[in-house]
Structure 1
Amino acid sequence: MDIRIKTFQELETMELYNILQLRSEVFVVEQNCVYQDLDGKDKLAFHVIGSKNDRVVAYTRVFKPGDYFKEASIGRVVVLNTERHFGYGLDIMKASIQFIKTTFGEVPIHLSAQKYLIKFYSSIGFAAIGEEYLEDGIPHIGMKMN
């Protein structure tokens, strides 16, 4: 998998379309969750794009401290269902964390994790903070890496 990081302004039209298609395929269709994915925050984000054979198969969006949470943050973490067995979730998260460290320094990183992924995020250094909450009808928990 090839990983590139771009600002919103650097995204090509087809690239943005493929990102939105992947997010919709997983977050709306696969997870059967009707929600407003286009939340106006993409233009503030750095887009971490994992591609394979010209197809977006993994993705996150990264925010500098203060643009989403007080801390730097990672969101919209997604891997195409048929590609999950390759470990691309770990690869895209490592690239996102490294980008934050390189770009913003050793700052805390916040994410809002779907509850079933607590073990995955814990394995890469995140710790649960606060209480469980519902986001778009799905149980979530805040997690932080210092």
Structure 2
Amino acid sequence: MPTTPDTSDARSAAEHDVTEPPAPRSHRAAADRPEAGEPSLVEHRARVGDIDPVTLYRLLRLRQDVFVTEQQVTDPDLDGRDLEDGSELLWISAGGEPVAHLRILEGPGEQVRIGRVATRADHRHQGLARRLMGLALERARERHPQWPVEIDAQAYLEDWYAAQGFVRHGEVFLEASLEHVAMTYQHPGTPPR
């Protein structure tokens, strides 16, 4: 399944040192704070079995809207990996509604995999995917500081991921009928594997 963040920061990504973890929540920029009358953005992390059914439905609907409806991907989104030990979903909600999502998996082997990166169309260009990716990289480092983080990124987003420290390896390949590239992130201070 494709990995599709919002690309709000892609144009200026080279200007940012994104290998540093995001600031603690209490120190986030004013841009993360809602305007008067707007719902606040809340970060979440949970295993599928710990998510209430309505929220899980909304998360899966978000993935369906982005991957199936918008991108017309015909490969199944529900691949069973969400239920594996070590799998976690991260998402941002606004007013209780999920607006951005990704999942973290362990393996195969000693690696962390990030995928299913999706942002609801009406919440793109706000840096939510970048924010989630920062949280996912923090979480991967907490759980497995020596393991590389792997993604299969849509090829047109290679620069977006590279700006966050991912390095491409290998040739372009087709996944879900879309061009992808394999990319790896190595936590700062750990030797490449």
Would you call these one fold, judging by a TM-score over 0.5?
Answer: yes
Query: Structure 1 stretches of 5 or more lacking a match?
Result: none
1:82-121 to 2 correspondences below 5 Å: 82-121=122-161
Which structure's CA Rg is the greater one? 2
Give, in angstroms, the shift of residue 105 of structure 1.
Answer: 1.9
Q: TM-score normalised to the size of structure 1?
A: 0.94
Give the superposition deviation at 1:50. Answer: 1.0
Residue 123 of structure 1 corresponds to: 163
- Supply the distance in 1 between the matched residues of 2:173 and 2:149 (Cα, whole angstroms): 19
* Distance in structure 2 (CA, Å) of the matches to 1:53 and 1:104: 32
Residue number in structure 2 paired with 1:60: 102
**1:79 partnered with 2:79:** no
- Does residue 26 (structure 1) correspond to residue 66 (structure 2)? The answer is yes
SS at match of 1:125: coil
Return the alpha-carbon distance in structure 1 between the equivalents of residues 121 and 110 of structure 2: 31
Q: May I ask how many residue pairs the two structures share in their alignment?
A: 144
Partner of 2:181: 141
CA contact (8 A) 2:81 2:105 kept: no
Deviation at 1:70, TM superposition (A): 4.3
Shift of 1:10: 0.7
Q: Distance in 2 between matches of 1:106 and 1:89?
A: 24
Moved more, 6-15 or 21-30: 6-15
Match of 2:30 in 1: none
- Superposed CA RMSD: 1.2
8 Å contact from structure 1 (residues 58, 80) kept in 2: yes
DSSP-derived class of the 2:45 partner? strand
* Greater helix content: 1
C-alpha spacing 1:51/1:110, structure 2 compared with 1 (3 Å): same
Which residue is equivalent to 2:88? 46
Superposed structure 1 runs of 4+ greater than 2 Å apart: none
Any gaps of 5 or more consecutive residues in structure 2?
1-40, 187-193
Q: Which amino acid aligns with 1:62?
A: I
- Tell me the amino acid that sits aligned with residue 48 of structure 1: L
Q: Which of structures 1 and 2 has the larger relative contact order (alpha carbons within 8 angstroms, sep 6+)? A: 2
Give 3-state SS (helix, strand or coil) of 1:36's partner.
coil
